[in-house]
Structure 1
Amino acid sequence: MLRFFRRIRQNLLAEKKFTKYLFYALGEIILVVIGILIALAINNANQKRLTEKNEVTYLMGLKEEFQTSKLKLKELIAVNQDNYSGAKQILEYTGDPSATPSEEEFSKVLYSTFSTDIAFNPNNSLLQEIINSGNLKNLSDTELRIQLTNWISTIEDIRRQEEELGIQRIKVLDMFRTNDYSLRTIFEKAGVSESIGLPSTDVTESNLSLLDSKEFENNVLMFIITSYATEEVHYRPLMQDLDKILKLIDGTK
């Protein structure tokens, strides 16, 4: 087509028909511009379809990730509740001399309360990939983009809180690193020695004197306070964020 116009222009120049030459030259330019615009429109349409397809894929993957994270958080809240419930039971023992437990009862509550560390490990692999690749901007819902960005910083805050909870837990356990109290007694009386492969023994030292220790009571109390704050100030609001993100994902799909 352009060669056809070029031949006409050459003939017009040869015949010195400058006005017609200009019209044909202008027509050739217009054709080129129209061709470019059509190509751009096709390319933009293809890019839009690809972006929308990628968004659907991302949203499906994000929904699966956040549903899994929600289950993990729900289980973690339950574990944390069990831990500080056990710690409150210990405080009842320290606050009431008439409520002194047996060695077996005390060992079981100590083991169940302080044997499990608390750490939320959400499924963030796809979200991190989306953020690192710069594709977060391709999600059409502005509020969802904001929530996903805030999620990362919220998780960092929770990790710091969990570190503090871990410190309070270790302070209680450190009391068993001395000659005054016996971890072996806890394992034996709580019935876990065999399951972790420890040789059985009939000789056990009592840990009940811990109930008279103000240091032990203070450490348990700090553990309770930190456990409660972890749930109420961090885990509960995080669960609300999870529900909001899942709702936004469903609304965008």
Structure 2
Amino acid sequence: MISFLRKIRQKLLSQNRVTQYLAYAIGEIFLVVIGILIALQINTWNQQRIENNEELEILLGLKDEFENNLEELNFSITINTKVTEACVQLTQLIRSNSIANDSDLLDDLLVRIGTFNSFDAQTGVSSEIVNSGKLTLLKNDALRTRIINWLTLLIDQEEDILFRSDNYTMNMMPFLMKHFPLANGELTKKLPFDKKKYLQNYQEKSPFKFNIAKEEYLEFENQIWHHKHNNDYVSINELNLKDFLKITLQMIEEELNKKK
């Protein structure tokens, strides 16, 4: 092709047809420019196709990760709600001065308030796209912002989880161990994550009796209230996270539908 065009130029010059040569040269330049533009457009289309495929892969990964997180979060919400209910029931038992009359219920409630759950979110996909800079591949600005906010929300949630755990371990447990035969809870203890029933329980009650004076009932109630208070923070945060996940999943689904 280049050789053919060169021959045409040489022929025009040899015939001293300058005007036609200039017109031809301009036309040749125009064709070259058009060729470059077409090549650039093809390259742009290829790049867009690659980015669209990468965005689709990211969206599918986020969808899977967030759906799993929503399932685990619902599980955690259910457990922590039962902890709050047990705290309320235990408080009512303390105020009724009937602890000694219903030791079986007391043993059960003391176990239930300690079976709280910590939501451990999956962040492999979301963290990877943020750290690698692939977040820019998501065309939806609002969705990009939500992915970043999601990781920040989890950090805030972790602080409340640790505070609840530390308070239960360092404050409540020493009080309970001093006054109650906690081993009795083994007779009714069930761990929600023990799906294959690996847990082995005690079969007999402790020979020891609870020992708490009435003047210590106030401290007992306060211990329960403080635990409920900490658990409330975790539970409310989980409910907010659930709303966040549901809205984000809806946005992801909308972006996936655009690609169909």
Q: With structure 1 as the length reference, what TM-score do the two structures score?
A: 0.82
Distance 1:32 1:11, change over 3 A: same
2:176–2:182: 8 Å Cα contact kept in structure 1?
A: no
1:165–1:223: 8 Å Cα contact kept in structure 2?
A: yes
Residue deviations 1:207-232 (CA, integer Å, cap 9, x gap): 35177343332221111122223223
Letter in 2 for 1:225: H
Mark the runs of 5 or more structure 2 residues left unpaired by the alignment: 190-197
Residue deviations 1:123-160 (CA, integer Å, cap 9, x gap): 22112222222222222222222222211111111111
Aligned partners of 1:71 and 1:198: how far apart in 2? Answer: 28
1:245 maps onto 2:248 in alignment? yes
Following superposition of structure 1 onto structure 2, how do residues 1-253 of structure 1 map, counting pairs within 5 Å? 1-10=1-10, 19-114=19-114, 116-170=115-169, 171-176=171-176, 180-181=178-179, 185-191=181-187, 204-209=207-212, 212-232=216-236, 234-253=237-256
Mark the runs of 5 or more structure 1 residues left unpaired by the alignment: none
User: What is the Cα deviation at residue 70 of structure 1?
Assistant: 1.0
RMSD: 2.8
Aligned partners of 2:164 and 2:39: how far apart in 1? Answer: 60
Q: Please say which of residues 208-217 and 78-87 is displaced more in the overlay.
A: 208-217
Aligned partners of 1:63 and 1:215: how far apart in 2? Answer: 47
Aligned partners of 2:99 and 2:165: how far apart in 1? Answer: 28
3-state SS of the aligned residue for 2:187?
coil
Distance 1:37 1:102, change over 3 A: same
1:181–1:205: 8 Å Cα contact kept in structure 2?
A: no
Aligned partners of 2:153 and 2:223: how far apart in 1? Answer: 27
Distance 1:252 1:210, change over 3 A: farther
Letter in 2 for 1:59: L
User: What is the Cα deviation at residue 8 of structure 1?
Assistant: 4.0
Distance 1:99 1:188, change over 3 A: closer
Distance 1:210 1:155, change over 3 A: farther
Distance 1:66 1:197, change over 3 A: closer
How many equivalent residue pairs? 246
1:104–1:190: 8 Å Cα contact kept in structure 2?
A: no
3-state SS of the aligned residue for 1:97?
coil
Q: With structure 2 as the length reference, what TM-score do the two structures score?
A: 0.80
